[in-house]
Amino acid sequence: MAAAKAKAKAKAKAEARPKAWAFGLVNCILYQAMYREGGGAALDDETVRRYATAMRAEPLSERPMAEQVAALRAVLATGTPLASTFDPYEGQEPFGEAEFRGFLARLADELESRGPRPPARAP
């Protein structure tokens, strides 16, 4: 009986762990913020709104938006360092871990508040 409980607990824990694609989504967002913003984006509310708009217009993943939001939240629930995946440009200040995690949490909230991505228009 105890072995079955332990096995069920281990299975539930493994299922709760974010999938590799979820970390890939976070890395795409970090890369954009670090390198596509001319030396690093300000991780402020304006950037949150811009990224949410961009992720709906040109998605980083083909997965439904609700699944992407859930993935962001699952990654945030881990203790895995997220802001140090890439080295900043020379002279560029790296994002702090708390700063980047806060940005991702606000982005997830913004995406969720906008609802599902609208279907593509037929030509």
Per-residue pLDDT reduced to its tens digit, 54-106 = 999 988 999 999 999 999 999 999 999 999 999 888 888 889 999 999 999 99
Share of the chain above pLDDT 90, in %: 62
In DSSP notation, 3-54 reads HHHHHHHHHHHHHHSPPHHHHHHHHHHHHHHHHTTSS----SHHHHHHHHHH
The pTM for the full model equals: 0.80
At 64, give phi and psi (nearest 5°).
Answer: -55, 150
- pLDDT for 117: 63
Round to whole Å and give the CA distance between 107 and 60. Answer: 14
Please enumerate in sequence order all residues whose Cβ is within 8 A of that of 94, keeping only pairs 6 or more positions apart, or say none: 83, 84, 87, 88
